[in-house]
A and B are shown apart, each in its own frame.
Chain A
Amino acid sequence: MAEPNSTFKPIKPKLKPKPRTPKQTPESKYWSSFKTHQIPDLISSITSLTFSPSPPHPFAATHSTSLKIFNPQTLSPSSTISSFSDVVSSASFRCDGLLIAASDLSGLIQVFDVKTRTPLRKLRSHTRPVRFLKYPLHDKLHLVSGGDDAVVKYWDVASETPLLELLGHKDYVRCGDFSPVSHEMCVTGSYDHTVKLWDVRVTGSKTVMEVNHGKPVESVVFLPSGGLVATAGGNSVKIWDFIGGGKMVYSMESHTKTVTSVCVGRVGKENVEEGREHRVLSVGLDGYMKVFDYGRMKVTHSMRFPAPLMSVGFSPDCGVRVIGSSNGVMYVGKRKTKEENVESGLRSFWSLGVEEERRVMRPSYFRYFHRGQGDKPKWGDYLVMRPKKVKLAEHDKLLKKFRHKEALVSVLGNKNPENVVAVMEELVARRKLLKCVENLDNEELGLLFMFLQKYSTVPRFSGLLMGLTKKVLEMRVEDIRGSEALKGQIRNLKRSVEEEIRIQHSLQELQGIISPLLRIAGRA
């Protein structure tokens, strides 16, 4: 049976081609669900970012000569430590999150109480700037540091003395990390292209293993299994298998400039099975953050920031992702955590009891007359559907009344090129477009020219608009001669067309270069 089509059909713009592959994988959806906030006005570049291992996981950012600790919920600085004589290079929380150690370029390492900000210990032994320091995972007594003197030191914090001096690097030591499974193993990377694995139990300060990254190493991180290490240097991030004898597993080369920092991120929540999946987050001077899935050896997400990036951090509860840039802006991505929802759900559960005690409604209440209006239909209910009202735009209403010129003018005023072209196509189908153009007054003609100048060279519209432009110029030549404003617009139009022609020429040149190559490739 044919339905009577007595409803007016509004005009629809042409469909745009859809990409063949889905735009967002679940993973990239996850990563873009971190809503980015900017924390500006930190002086100079952010040299390091570190998260406290204890909830609620506040994070510390080092920049210039100060260390700031941020609250992950409000993203506001909760405390600032500025008792440094030189640029702070690195910071690390102790495993219980109560203490934080920070190093600066004067070679001094200080340990602070996070709450009171009082310096508790000063570790003085490095002669040159210290570039990194790190607390081990479950060890509250020691830390490791390294610096421009190419020496890695293993400290006993309480006594402020270096227990071990690990020698072997031939250039600046820039980075290091403790193993997540053992508090006696650490790895350091240096500008001599090597990454060395140390075991503090080995006497004679000999390196256990050594791999060559091939480029000055900027950042090194243990992956959560404890067997794999990710190193960043030059444009590449490399994954090494240390248990398997220091074999390179994969080299990710998708950054275009030096990778400055890597850290471990995680997809999903802890209790979900998916939550076990870890990713390597890397940032570089090219302004990109890349998420690398080292299980599938694939870059799964990539994000662009407007500044060279220096450091990256990811909170252990997967709630916050922090990226520090070289110009003192910090990009904090915060994810809406489920915990808030759970909490509110809990509240509503408790409040349910209260609601049940609601009094019986009487007609004396105003709400009595509104009762049941918000009820959802049950499964078996018969729904009386109200006919859907077609919402008509201004131009549709005018087209319905056959007021073609007004429709064209109205849609031209709305600045939506797709709709304008759709209205024009409808007018062509009604054989009224040229008549409309003829009847436009000078002001409306100006509007049309403005539109044509902007969009007549857009490939999607040019098929119709180029022809129309020619016709309009032919038809309205007298009016254009009469008006200065229109003349100016014609000049603009001409310029944009010339620009397009130039582009097309250069594209054709390119095509001329490429097509023989393709043909040769096809033959081979």
Chain B
Amino acid sequence: MIRGGSSYISSPPAFSNDAKRLLVCTANTVSIFSTSTALQVASLEGHTAAVTSVIVVPGTKVLCYCWTASLDGTIRYWDFSVPELLKTLDVKMPIFSMVIPSIVGQPAESNEKPTDVFAYLSIEDKKVQENRPKAMHGQIRKCNLTASRMVGGLILKETPQPEFITVSSSGKFFGIRNKRKLHVWSVPAIDSGRSLAKKITLHHSKTLSVLAFHPTERIVAAGDVTGRILVWRGFGYRTFSTGDELVNKEEEHPGVRGNDDADSCSTWHWHSAEVKVLSFSSDGGKEGVLVVWQLDTGKKKFLPRIGSPLLCFTDSPDPTLSSISCADNLIHMLEMPSMDILKTISGIKVCSKESFYVLIFKLHSHPQLPHSFPGRYEGLSSGFAFDYTSGLVALRTESYGIQFYSLFDDHGMYEVQVCERNHQPGDEISVVVILVALSQDGSMMSTVEVKLPEEGIGGLVCLKFWALGSENKKFTLSTVIYEPHRDAGISAVAFHPTRHMAVSSSYGGDFKVWVCNDEIQQKGQTLQNSGWACLAVGAYKKKPMTAAAFSLDGSVLAVAAETVITLWDPDKNVLLAVIGETLSPIVTLSFAGKSEYLVSVSRDPKPQLSVWNMSKLSLSWSYRLHIEAVACAVDLLSFAVLALLPESSMCTESNELMSQGRDGAILLFNVMDPVPVATWSVRKAKGGGLSFLQGNPSFLEENISDGNAPKEFLVYVNGDHEYVLFDPYSNEANEVSMARRKGLVELEETGQVGYASIYGELPEFKRNQTSLVPSVPSERPWETIFSGSSHNLPPLTRLCAAFLESLMEKRTAAVE
């Protein structure tokens, strides 16, 4: 079983002291990436819930210790070079954020005996009664890490939600944002269990989204939801000063609101959307633009078009390197002064849900496309395409691209830009890739993109065919078809299993069979002019065509015309038979392997899973289930469905499932038999995908200890694009320990210093060693010993010896 696809961006990453490692919180583990290769080198496993904070203990470059805090209520201490767990602390309450101001401020080499280390935690108190009108769930607490205990009874602040704590790099201050206020605490110089941090509050008229401290001066900056950045200078002189009650002189505090404790406040406004990241030296926002502000003058430097909203910015001990985490599960390594992206750690991409809901809403509310998008736009929910042979998943990204992600390696492969547009993450969504389909051998891809019209003008549906390049293994655009079904939307695209043929069905009431030109021409002809062209058009009673599929041998094409299934001969374009009908429109069709059964799925208003017998042209059996995805095994007679558990059952019987957030189930059926062969309950099934994959030979090697290597895997991708691969036919529970593949992990290159770091490695000029010519005496060495160009020959002394030796007779058989 392989798990993967976790989010890299749930919490800010941390650099190791030598800036060669990046520690990223990935669900229950901390993954350690190399900054120079952007590949994973190790992981820290042990937490039982999502890790929320990782803090590297500063020190010399060889020190590799870190603290992690997790929602499972524990704080752990690791040596991440080994990696090894050193200490565990149980707080018993989910920790949302943790800062350790004292270790940040400590000089690296202090001779004195290490004092107690205190951490400030942002935790969620579950014990707070729900019925209180303003339940304060979030608490800021203090914890003595050295003594492994909470500082009793000390709650610094209660907030409605657990907040993210920001600490200044000097370790003197930390703060949180709370709606329109900033709370800033100063850490006592000698931190002890009793000493209480002092607090000031700064106010603003808009909801604040982020705050940051200046590394050396008393400046705090905050970003708000409207894109403004506020900078308070000299905050807290009064409160944090030694405690003399100064008379409150009425000084001019330009821009400072009310009674706040700060010298001045200035505002910059550049971002048009919410500022998500703010850190001294730079900030970025929802538009996906990183802006570096020069603090004194307010001058700006931009890194535009990062492609998605930025979530956090992390500096490394190496001043030239920093990282930004983007909302689409990417971490970019930046070279700082020039703001070049050096490397990218790409996780599986996630589309923000709300954007698609907006789109769905739009497609509905559009009056001028009567047939185009009926009911719910179902194509959106299963936006995955699986490459059966090579174990890749293709998924749509927000930036009009298709990401190819290797499921076996848990590693982003590459991205194909479907639509040549500049993606502005903050903008209203107007162009979207709605469908992606891969052929069974993975050599062809087709995508459908929709441009939404502006007040009824300028809408466009565009079907594109892509071919896999033979040498670089990347998809290149082959054919573009504008408005393939006039202005009607496309409901499905399916490829012929063996030939260069595809079918696209549209809500406009027709389907088209496309063939690649190579097939029309002879094989030996020139192929550079290859392209896709329409071979045939079919329609059935002008009904919207809602799904399409080829049978495994390609002899039958099934197209769903709302509630009935029409069967066609794809070559002659002749209607063979009509079977039906279901209660509500069919959204997915798929043939179950080589068998004579066809699986159809229909959803709202009456969800149904039906299995049709093709030889009898009749319904075999059906269930009333809300099916999210269907996967059919290629060889066997089984298929798997991902079903959403109905709300009613969730309320009554499966309370324990609910508590774990499990809202769906994978059911494995044999086509003959309506009783499922196996079931698994899963989390976050909404928007999930399911597919069978061919066993990867390299993967099989590792599992060879199991005895019988599985032929096919079932892969399940949940709504958050986390996935799991398992063998559906094995009896053992899927608690097989996760074997991480080491294949792609490259060895770290040695660090370069001095000259080499600036100009790179000098090429090594070695004298030609003698190893070029193998001096193994053959049967008749004089024939081969001098062959080859003269500069490749071994030195003369050696040659002569070999030559003379060859002339001498070997007396091996002389013993007799």
Residues in A lying within 8 Å of B, measured CB to CB: 1-9, 12, 14-15, 18, 20, 22, 424-426, 428-431, 433-434, 463-464, 467-468, 471
Which residues of chain A have C-beta atoms less than 8 A from B303's C-beta?
6
* Complex contact B517–A20 (CB within 8 A): yes
Which of B415, B451, B533 sits near A2, CB closer than 8 Å? B415
In the bound assembly, the distance between CA atoms of A86 and B295 in angstroms comes to: 98
Which residues of chain A have C-beta atoms less than 8 A from B306's C-beta?
4, 6
* Complex contact A433–B422 (CB within 8 A): no
User: Given A2-B344, A6-B303, A6-B305, are A22 and B454 also a contact pair (CB < 8 Å)?
Assistant: no
* Complex contact B420–A9 (CB within 8 A): yes
* Complex contact A2–B414 (CB within 8 A): yes
* Complex contact B451–A429 (CB within 8 A): yes
Residues in B450-464 with C-beta less than 8 Å from chain A: 451, 453-458, 460
* Complex contact B420–A429 (CB within 8 A): no
In the bound assembly, the distance between CA atoms of A267 and B62 in angstroms comes to: 78
* Complex contact B421–A2 (CB within 8 A): no
Residues in B lying within 8 Å of A, measured CB to CB: 38, 303-307, 330, 332, 341, 343-344, 346, 399, 401, 403, 412-415, 417, 420-423, 427-428, 430-431, 451, 453-458, 460, 480, 482-483, 487, 517, 529, 531, 533
* Complex contact A433–B421 (CB within 8 A): no
In the bound assembly, the distance between CA atoms of A12 and B480 in angstroms comes to: 13
A10 CB to nearest B CB, Å: 8
A519 CB to nearest B CB, Å: 16
User: Given A428-B430, A428-B451, are A1 and B457 also a contact pair (CB < 8 Å)?
Assistant: no
B745 CB to nearest A CB, Å: 15
In the bound assembly, the distance between CA atoms of A114 and B341 in angstroms comes to: 78
Which residues of chain A have C-beta atoms less than 8 A from B307's C-beta?
4-5
In the bound assembly, the distance between CA atoms of A249 and B427 in angstroms comes to: 71
Please list 8 pairs of residues, one from A and one from B, whose beta carbons are closer than 8 Å in the complex, sorted by A's number: A2-B401, A5-B305, A9-B422, A429-B451, A430-B427, A430-B430, A464-B458, A471-B457
* Complex contact A8–B422 (CB within 8 A): yes
Taking A5-B417, A434-B455 as known contacts, 14 extra A-B pairs with beta carbons closer than 8 A to each other, sorted by chain A number, are: A1-B412, A2-B403, A2-B412, A4-B306, A4-B341, A5-B399, A6-B303, A15-B480, A18-B531, A425-B451, A429-B451, A429-B458, A430-B430, A468-B457
* Complex contact B430–A467 (CB within 8 A): no
Which of B451, B480, B529 sits near A22, CB closer than 8 Å? B529
Query: Which 7 A-B pairs have CB atoms at the shortest separation, nearest pair first?
Result: A428-B458, A467-B457, A4-B341, A2-B415, A429-B430, A428-B454, A6-B305
Residue of B nearest to A10 (CB): B420
Number of A-B contacts (CB under 8 A): 84
In the bound assembly, the distance between CA atoms of A14 and B449 in angstroms comes to: 14
Which residues of chain B have C-beta atoms less than 8 A from A431's C-beta?
427-428, 430, 454
B286 CB to nearest A CB, Å: 16
* Complex contact A1–B458 (CB within 8 A): no
Which residues of chain A have C-beta atoms less than 8 A from B420's C-beta?
9, 12
User: Given A2-B415, A4-B344, A9-B422, are A429 and B457 also a contact pair (CB < 8 Å)?
Assistant: no
In the bound assembly, the distance between CA atoms of A464 and B457 in angstroms comes to: 6
Residue of A nearest to B332 (CB): A4
A6 CB to nearest B CB, Å: 5
B355 CB to nearest A CB, Å: 15
* Complex contact B533–A471 (CB within 8 A): no
Residue of B nearest to A465 (CB): B457
* Complex contact B305–A424 (CB within 8 A): no
* Complex contact A1–B344 (CB within 8 A): yes
In the bound assembly, the distance between CA atoms of A371 and B739 in angstroms comes to: 59
Which residues of chain A have C-beta atoms less than 8 A from B413's C-beta?
1
In the bound assembly, the distance between CA atoms of A157 and B487 in angstroms comes to: 79
User: Given A1-B414, A2-B330, A9-B420, are A424 and B341 also a contact pair (CB < 8 Å)?
Assistant: no
Residue of B nearest to A421 (CB): B458
Which residues of chain A have C-beta atoms less than 8 A from B332's C-beta?
4
User: Is chain A's binding surface mostly helix, strand, loop or mixed?
Assistant: loop
* Complex contact B341–A6 (CB within 8 A): yes
Most B Cβ at <10 Å: residue of A12, A428, A471 = A428
* Complex contact A433–B415 (CB within 8 A): no
In the bound assembly, the distance between CA atoms of A433 and B456 in angstroms comes to: 12
In the bound assembly, the distance between CA atoms of A470 and B533 in angstroms comes to: 34
A516 CB to nearest B CB, Å: 20
* Complex contact A2–B346 (CB within 8 A): yes
* Complex contact B533–A3 (CB within 8 A): no
Residue of A nearest to B483 (CB): A463
Which residues of chain B have C-beta atoms less than 8 A from A18's C-beta?
529, 531
In the bound assembly, the distance between CA atoms of A468 and B487 in angstroms comes to: 16
Which residues of chain B have C-beta atoms less than 8 A from A433's C-beta?
454, 457-458
Which of A5, A7, A12, A425 sits near B458, CB closer than 8 Å? A425
* Complex contact A428–B422 (CB within 8 A): no
Which residues of chain B have C-beta atoms less than 8 A from A9's C-beta?
420-422
A385 CB to nearest B CB, Å: 15
In the bound assembly, the distance between CA atoms of A519 and B430 in angstroms comes to: 42
Which residues of chain A have C-beta atoms less than 8 A from B423's C-beta?
5
Which of A15, A428, A430 sits near B453, CB closer than 8 Å? A428
Residue of B nearest to A425 (CB): B458
B449 CB to nearest A CB, Å: 11
Most B Cβ at <10 Å: residue of A18, A424, A463, A464 = A463
Which residues of chain A have C-beta atoms less than 8 A from B458's C-beta?
424-425, 428-429, 433, 464, 467-468
Which residues of chain A have C-beta atoms less than 8 A from B417's C-beta?
5
In the bound assembly, the distance between CA atoms of A429 and B403 in angstroms comes to: 22
* Complex contact B421–A429 (CB within 8 A): yes
A205 CB to nearest B CB, Å: 56
User: Given A1-B414, A429-B430, A429-B451, are A6 and B480 also a contact pair (CB < 8 Å)?
Assistant: no
In the bound assembly, the distance between CA atoms of A205 and B531 in angstroms comes to: 64
Which residues of chain B have C-beta atoms less than 8 A from A471's C-beta?
455, 457
Which residues of chain B have C-beta atoms less than 8 A from A430's C-beta?
427, 430
B617 CB to nearest A CB, Å: 28
* Complex contact B305–A429 (CB within 8 A): no
Which residues of chain A have C-beta atoms less than 8 A from B427's C-beta?
430-431
In the bound assembly, the distance between CA atoms of A468 and B455 in angstroms comes to: 10
Which residues of chain B have C-beta atoms less than 8 A from A467's C-beta?
456-458
Which residues of chain A have C-beta atoms less than 8 A from B531's C-beta?
18
Residue of B nearest to A6 (CB): B305
Which residues of chain B have C-beta atoms less than 8 A from A426's C-beta?
421
Which residues of chain A have C-beta atoms less than 8 A from B344's C-beta?
1-4
Most B Cβ at <10 Å: residue of A2, A14, A15, A471 = A2
Which of B330, B412, B414, B431 sits near A429, CB closer than 8 Å? B431
Which residues of chain A have C-beta atoms less than 8 A from B454's C-beta?
428, 431, 433-434
Which of A1, A429, A434 sits near B346, CB closer than 8 Å? A1
In the bound assembly, the distance between CA atoms of A22 and B451 in angstroms comes to: 32
In the bound assembly, the distance between CA atoms of A234 and B330 in angstroms comes to: 75
A305 CB to nearest B CB, Å: 30
In the bound assembly, the distance between CA atoms of A372 and B420 in angstroms comes to: 39
In the bound assembly, the distance between CA atoms of A15 and B307 in angstroms comes to: 25
In the bound assembly, the distance between CA atoms of A467 and B422 in angstroms comes to: 25
Residue of A nearest to B330 (CB): A2
Which residues of chain B have C-beta atoms less than 8 A from A22's C-beta?
529
Which residues of chain A have C-beta atoms less than 8 A from B341's C-beta?
4, 6
B763 CB to nearest A CB, Å: 10
A29 CB to nearest B CB, Å: 15
Residue of B nearest to A468 (CB): B457
B36 CB to nearest A CB, Å: 14
In the bound assembly, the distance between CA atoms of A15 and B458 in angstroms comes to: 16
In the bound assembly, the distance between CA atoms of A8 and B487 in angstroms comes to: 29
A437 CB to nearest B CB, Å: 10
Residue of B nearest to A22 (CB): B529
Most B Cβ at <10 Å: residue of A9, A22, A424, A433 = A9
Which residues of chain B have C-beta atoms less than 8 A from A14's C-beta?
482
In the bound assembly, the distance between CA atoms of A433 and B459 in angstroms comes to: 13
Which residues of chain B have C-beta atoms less than 8 A from A2's C-beta?
330, 344, 346, 401, 403, 412, 414-415
In the bound assembly, the distance between CA atoms of A57 and B413 in angstroms comes to: 65
Residue of A nearest to B39 (CB): A1
Which residues of chain B have C-beta atoms less than 8 A from A425's C-beta?
451, 458, 460
* Complex contact A428–B457 (CB within 8 A): yes
